Amino acid sequence: MRALELFAGAGGLAMGVSKAGFSHSKVVEWDEDCCATLEYNKGRAVRPVSAWSIHRGDVRAFDYSSLAHPVDLVAGGPPCQPFSLGGKHKGYDDHRDMFPEAVRAVRELRPRAFIFENVRGLLRESFSEYFEYIVLQLSYPEVKAQPKGDWTSHLAALEKYHTKGKRDGLRYHVVFRLLNAADYGVPQKRERVFIVGFRADQQIEWSFPEPTHSREALLASKWADGTYWEKHRVPRTRRGVKPVMTQLSLHDGLGRSRCLPWKTVRDALDDLPDPKKTNGGGPPNHVFMPGARPYPGHTGCVLDEPAKTLKAGDHGVPGGENMVLLDDGELRYFTVRESARLQCFPDD
């Protein structure tokens, strides 16, 4: 099966798509640093990046007719800045809104399926009409906007098309859900909206997978049987204060029969050396960065919980979140390698 990756970034989603059994016709990205990362890893024969055909350029100028084979899946994470809680909240008025390009890819390639992800801010009430617009466009990608019309007039046309009795042409069955990466084994509390669609003629029945990991199972492993502390050889004096919990939370087997414990920062980083002691040695990109300090609202991540969402941004926001509070009370920045680990990038 063949896939096209849009807005690839450093390649995280594309790696997952590759591991799910797809080969990429193209991996499209325009940011210079992201492209340099992709091409560097391709040159080092890092799998699965080594098999990708990387296109460096603006997706708005990409010619889909240039692809040699039909595409089964279109995937990607359109830029989140227009909808992020930490951004300027311009939404559809932000020039970085690339959902129209996601729709164009679906319209021109007619894939069997697509998957797009974005920040939870996309579900805010202020964007509710625009989110409906995105979903309807992906459901009926051939219903185009009028050249001189705005998006609200196009939304009205899509609503009429959606509610009429008979619909012809290209159609997709679209579902969406807000998911937390921690619930699927990622050592980071990262909530994202996933929009998934299957071409109507495929007659595919599908639903989002059930969580594989849970907070309740982590609590049980800490405070019911203590297996979490034993695994990491953490003495009682460093385990912190047991939280106030209901009997239900610690009911024997709750969560553990269905789910594994959430993975924590300690789980992810336990085998990495102290970057202050390696002097740049050890794993690649595992270099100590001085200057970490807490400030209101940004106190770093604790070792024995999943990390907070790692962020990119200006004005100190990512610095405040991208820190870890160690057992001895020291607060320091995550190294680049640690940040990659928390996002499940392989060490190579």
Q: Are 188 and 158 in contact (CB under 8 A)?
A: no
| Helices 151-163 + 128-139 axis angle, to 10 | 60
Going from the C-alpha of 204 to that of each of 16, 112, 178, 199, the distances in angstroms are 21, 10, 21, 8
Please list the residues that pair with 332 across neighbouring strands.
324
In whole angstroms, give the CA distance from residue 342 to residue 302: 13
Q: Which one of the listed residues 34, 35, 80, 301 is annotated catalytic?
A: 80
Residue position matching structure tokens 């007039």: 153
Q: Dmax over Cα atoms in the chain, in whole Å?
A: 69
In whole angstroms, give the CA distance from residue 199 to residue 171: 6
State yes or no: is 80 an active-site residue.
Answer: yes
In whole angstroms, give the CA distance from residue 340 to residue 301: 15
In whole angstroms, give the CA distance from residue 213 to residue 260: 4
197 DSSP 8-state letter: E
Q: Is the dihedral of CA 233, 235, 241, 247 positive or negative?
A: positive
Listing DSSP states for 302-338 in one string gives: ETTSPBPPP---STTHHHHHSEEE-TTS-EEEPPHHH
* Cβ neighbourhood burial of 92 (10 Å; 0-12, 13-18, 19+): middle
Per-residue tokens: 120? 């939870």
Active site residue ranges: 80
